[in-house]
Amino acid sequence: MKNDIQEYLDYVKKTGSRLSLYREISDFFNVKSALYPGSFIDIDPSLVIENVTYVDNFKGAVKFFKKNTLAIYDYLDKNKEYNSKCKINFISEDYTNDLIVDEVDLIISQYAGFVAQYTKKYLKSGGLVLANDSHGDASLTNFDKDFMLIGVINGDNKIDETELDTYFKLPKGKIVDLDIVRKKMKGLKYTKNPTNYIFRKR
């Protein structure tokens, strides 16, 4: 059985790397552990975060992590940006099911549904959610009393902590209808639309 990470390299080339995004979050908040539900084969977080648990039941992701374990560790050991030992864990489950995981500093939600809503119980008090609003997860998280918006990230992958009360506003003062978000699994067209949002668990 071939054991390499070419599939991952091709994936990054096709979709673009999120490494600078993860680096910004990790460095700014000193993140040591993360949970990445719906990760597919995006192992970039492990280059800047020493302990990451990936969760995905898509057969392509399961196959990648299962057959390439040694190659993944070898690649990460050679390219990681921290001195401590790299630790990764892959769970081939639907993240909406109960998972056996330790509490983490960060939950990553990228194009994978309502990640934060289903997995916030695994987040430490004061922990962070990094979410985009592609499937509406950032919208639901913003209006969840368990979280507070503490920053946004725009195209330069830099954290902006200013004027946070101006986000999640619809044109003409329209009211945000979360039922529509849940039904369509899609973010709304707000007056300001950063690439990602950062929330802290209360």
**Alpha-carbon span 124 to 103, nearest angstrom:** 5
Does residue 122 sit within a domain?
A: yes
Provide the β-strand partners of residue 123.
104
Q: Indicate the pairing of strand 147-153 with strand 104-109.
A: unpaired
User: Does residue 51 carry a pLDDT above 90?
Assistant: yes
User: Does residue 2 carry a pLDDT above 80?
Assistant: no
Instruction: Specify whether the CB–CB gap between 114 and 136 falls below 8 A.
Output: yes
Does residue 137 sit within a domain?
A: yes
Q: What is the DSSP letter of 120?
A: G
Structure tokens at 54: 């990936």
Helices marked H in the chain — which ranges? 6-15, 19-29, 59-67, 69-79, 115-119, 137-142, 178-184
User: Does residue 111 carry a pLDDT above 50?
Assistant: yes
Least confident of 3-7, 19-23, 55-59, 194-198: 3-7
Would you place residue 34 in the very low, low, confident or very high pLDDT band (cuts 50, 70, 90)?
A: very high
Provide the β-strand partners of residue 35.
53, 107
Half-sphere exposure of 117 (CA within 13 A, CB side): 18
Task: Return the CATH number at 20.
Answer: 3.40.50.150
Mean pLDDT calculated for residue range 175-180: 97
Length of the chain in terms of residues written: 202
Nearest one of 109, 99, 171, 104 to 139, comparing CA atoms? 109
Provide the β-strand partners of residue 147.
201
Work out the percent of the chain whose per-residue pLDDT is above 90: 98
For tokens 């993944």, what's the residue?
Answer: 72
Does residue 41 sit within a domain?
A: yes
Does residue 50 sit within a domain?
A: yes
pTM equals 0.96
Would you place residue 1 in the very low, low, confident or very high pLDDT band (cuts 50, 70, 90)?
A: very low
Does residue 1 sit within a domain?
A: no
pLDDT in tens, 143-160: 999 999 999 999 899 999
Mean pLDDT calculated for residue range 62-91: 97
Instruction: Report the number of distinct structural domains present in the chain.
Output: 1
Q: What is the pLDDT of residue 3?
A: 65
Does residue 107 sit within a domain?
A: yes
**Alpha-carbon span 144 to 142, nearest angstrom:** 6
Would you place residue 4 in the very low, low, confident or very high pLDDT band (cuts 50, 70, 90)?
A: confident
Which residues are CB-neighbours of 145 under 8 A, at least 6 positions away? 202
Expressed as residue numbers, the domain containing 44 is: 6-201
